[in-house]
Chain A
């Protein structure tokens, strides 16, 4: 027999949108939950860099150089593995296609690395073709530190743990290997539409 708390609904709101907008097992939230595995880093912009590492080659942008790159504004839905989804979120960022433009190798995987030591792995294909950004603005304002500012990865078609906060670079790799959460049991790929939350799903 399953116990039910009389009168408890939780903070999810009823949502009668198109059912195809919500992946299985998700609910819509109005707020923007802050999830973190560690303290919020505060790297000063004068020290901030973004790097693309390809074997021995390393291409690095300072904050000024990074902000001088072409950027775009996108409105996307994001889906967290903890089951909340936030619809129509607006971001401004540099497309990862732009950052990977000069990469010579055709290494098929990337590992995003971040301040504080967080990492996450992705297939290169999933951060290419206009599917991913390094985002620096959210909702028209500079991205706040607790939400990953000054810049985070944005890969909306995968679970939001792949949109690594405080990202500092991408390392090209020949093999796919687990990043932080993937090491502790989360799915290597993380497609919310196939509900790939955990390794083995």
Chain B
């Protein structure tokens, strides 16, 4: 596995779209062929840059959805008033070129050399980098126990739903649907709060490592809640997404 360079030039390059897959009505995964890709780590992201004919540019960041030994893929949620996400989820086609740079990031990353029990907490599209971590864990044969707590508005909004339903060994998936639940739903039905975290999170004495990703207010509620349960701040890694594209 090529390790993404910590030092060295980060240049824009042109990738091409190999495949697209609709994950939910608003969410699409884009698989890319990136000629000069140096490899990536689970949890990293890449920056996308769109240029209009008159030179106008827009740039956004998207978490890489695939494991280090898989083709580079990003998963994009179409935002209501978005400028870039509607283009990526509706206009972009297989065969199109996409300018990007990456991989980027060295803080919100996981590798199988870490043996801590993992607590992954996702709000909405925050699931993307955590899915890369899950895929990397499975593909590398790591057996650290994992609990994934995933908050979505409704079942229709759950990204990678089929994949999450196939439980890998040692991975427990706990979901909460905050706006609408199907009949017979046995999962949680409210926004993640300190009490819910207390029921789900690994006990502190197991020395867990937490990755929390999603909108800023979600991440702050969860991070505060975990610290309140006794998690050392340094064992709670956070990545906040904004309304401006994937970040």
Interface contact B87-A5, CB-CB below 8 Å: yes
Asked if A6 is at the interface (CB within 8 A of a chain B CB), the reply is yes
Asked if A21 is at the interface (CB within 8 A of a chain B CB), the reply is no
Q: Which of B106-154 contact A (CB under 8 A)?
A: none
Interface contact A12-B51, CB-CB below 8 Å: no
Cα of A39 to Cα of B53 in the assembled complex, Å: 35
Interface contact A2-B51, CB-CB below 8 Å: yes
Query: How distant is B107 from chain A, measured CB to nearest CB, in Å?
Result: 22
Asked if B168 is at the interface (CB within 8 A of a chain A CB), the reply is no
Interface contact B50-A5, CB-CB below 8 Å: yes
Interface contact A3-B96, CB-CB below 8 Å: no
- Of A2, A8, A31, the residue contacting B50 (CB under 8 A) is A8
Interface contact B51-A8, CB-CB below 8 Å: yes
Interfacial chain B residues near A27, Cβ < 8 Å: 56
Query: How distant is A89 from chain B, measured CB to nearest CB, in Å?
Result: 19
Cα of A156 to Cα of B229 in the assembled complex, Å: 51
Interface contact B83-A7, CB-CB below 8 Å: no
Interfacial chain B residues near A10, Cβ < 8 Å: 50, 52, 56, 58, 83
- Of A5, A9, A12, A31, the residue contacting B97 (CB under 8 A) is A5
Closest chain B residue to A8 by CB distance?
A: B50
Interface contact A4-B81, CB-CB below 8 Å: no
Asked if B98 is at the interface (CB within 8 A of a chain A CB), the reply is yes
Cα of A11 to Cα of B245 in the assembled complex, Å: 13
Q: Which of B70-110 contact A (CB under 8 A)?
A: 81, 83, 87, 91-92, 96-99
Query: How distant is A42 from chain B, measured CB to nearest CB, in Å?
Result: 16
Closest chain B residue to A7 by CB distance?
A: B91
Place the interface of chain B in its size category: 10 to 19
Query: How distant is B33 from chain A, measured CB to nearest CB, in Å?
Result: 16
Interface contact A3-B97, CB-CB below 8 Å: yes
Interfacial chain B residues near A4, Cβ < 8 Å: 51-53
Cα of A8 to Cα of B53 in the assembled complex, Å: 8
Interface contact B51-A5, CB-CB below 8 Å: yes
Q: What 0/1 pattern do residues 67 to 80 of A give for CB contact below 8 A with B?
A: 00000000000000
Interfacial chain A residues near B98, Cβ < 8 Å: 5
Interfacial chain A residues near B81, Cβ < 8 Å: 31
Cα of A8 to Cα of B97 in the assembled complex, Å: 12
Interfacial chain A residues near B56, Cβ < 8 Å: 10, 12, 27
Interfacial chain A residues near B53, Cβ < 8 Å: 4
- Of A3, A11, A31, the residue contacting B51 (CB under 8 A) is A3
Interface contact B87-A7, CB-CB below 8 Å: yes
Query: How distant is B83 from chain A, measured CB to nearest CB, in Å?
Result: 4
Interface contact B50-A11, CB-CB below 8 Å: no
Interfacial chain B residues near A2, Cβ < 8 Å: 51, 55
Interfacial chain A residues near B96, Cβ < 8 Å: 5-6
Q: Which of A4, A8, A10 has the most CB of B within 10 A?
A: A8
Q: Interface residues, chain B, CB within 8 Å of chain A?
A: 14, 50-53, 55-56, 58, 81, 83, 87, 91-92, 96-99
Identify 22 residue pairs between A and B in the complex whose beta-carbon atoms are under 8 Å apart, listed by A's number. A2-B55, A3-B14, A3-B99, A4-B51, A4-B52, A4-B53, A5-B87, A5-B97, A5-B99, A6-B96, A7-B91, A7-B92, A8-B50, A8-B52, A8-B87, A8-B91, A9-B52, A10-B50, A10-B58, A10-B83, A11-B83, A27-B56
